[in-house]
Amino acid sequence: MSSRPVPSHLVANLGARITLGDRVFISYGAAISSSIEVSIGDGTRLGPFGVIMDSDFHVAGDRNAVAEAKAVRIGRGVVLGSRVSVLRGSEIGDGARVQSGSVVSGAVPPGAVVGGVPARTIVVDQEADVPLLIQRVLGLPSIPGPLEGPDDSTWLGFFGRSQNSCSPSKRRSESAGRRGHEGGSVGRRADRGRRAGSRPRRRHSMMTMSPDRSPKRAALFSL
């Protein structure tokens, strides 16, 4: 495969097969090797330098033994990060996510998020951990409820602000007041300019001494 900047390789031994579903994405530098069978479901994505193989090509401790191959099956909508290795006999369920640099050896449940060497489940249900993540990031004293938000009294008390000062109506009125004050200042300056008429402005200059002790004009400004 002519991927850039590093080509990817798909190799199948005699009698083996590699099955790719629809819309499968294989990034650069990837390698897929099949001695029996490697199947990848629809919409699965393989990151850069990923490796999938159904054989170890050797037996530890016996150089003369023939390596046993076991089929690798990857479901639909799976995402494999960069430099992920999927070893023989592995089965990855639909919608699973494998973090970069992980080594998969065994079964991965559908929809799970796994990572590490060997890969272990990190998150099974992402929605269940969202409130806990919000509590940790914002440093809240308790997990927020589904109807709580920034205008809730519990949140406002935690951040040290009153509900009135943080309410949307209060913020709008304060903003309008600031705009009115700024507009009045501009108007007063314009009136003073009109009253001054066409009186010519006096120009003043600042004089400094150059190294040869002669006067030198440094700047010019107007009043």
Question: What CATH number does the domain containing 53 carry?
Answer: 2.160.10.10
33 or 186: which leads in pLDDT: 33
Indicate if the pLDDT at residue 159 is higher than 50: yes
Indicate if the pLDDT at residue 44 is higher than 70: yes
Torsion over CA of 136, 137, 141 and 146, rounded to 10 degrees? -90
Count of structural domains, the chain: 2
- Is residue 28 within 8 A of residue 48, CB to CB? The reply is yes
On whether residue 192 sits in a domain, the answer given is no
pLDDT confidence of residue 107: 93
Q: 55 and 155 share a domain?
A: no
pLDDT interval class at 223 (50, 70, 90): very low
- Which tokens is 99 given? 């973090």
Residues in CB range of 92: below 8 A, 6 or more apart: 73, 74, 75, 78, 86, 98, 104, 107, 108
Domain boundary among 124, 145, 162: 124
Q: 114 and 18 share a domain?
A: yes
- Is residue 82 within 8 A of residue 51, CB to CB? The reply is no
Q: 117 and 13 share a domain?
A: yes
Percent of the chain whose predicted confidence (pLDDT) is above 70: 61
Q: 119 and 129 share a domain?
A: no
pLDDT confidence of residue 205: 52
CA distances from 124 to 91, 99, 113, 121, 128 (A): 16, 14, 6, 7, 9
Q: How many CA atoms lie within 13 A of 76 on its CB side?
A: 4
pTM recorded for the entire structure: 0.54
Indicate if the pLDDT at residue 172 is higher than 80: no
Q: 48 and 93 share a domain?
A: yes
Q: 109 and 129 share a domain?
A: no
Domain boundary among 124, 152, 186: 124
On whether residue 140 sits in a domain, the answer given is yes
On whether residue 152 sits in a domain, the answer given is yes
How many whole angstroms separate alpha carbon 5 and alpha carbon 40? 23
What is the full DSSP assignment across 64-118? TSPPPP--EEE-TT-EE-TT-EE-TT-EE-TT-EE-TT-EE-SEE-TT-EEETTT
On whether residue 90 sits in a domain, the answer given is yes
pLDDT confidence of residue 181: 56
pLDDT confidence of residue 140: 79
On whether residue 184 sits in a domain, the answer given is no
Q: 146 and 51 share a domain?
A: no
Q: Which domain holds residue 134?
A: 125-177
Three-state DSSP class for residue 53: strand
pLDDT tens digit sequence for 110-138 = 989 999 989 998 865 555 567 777 777 77
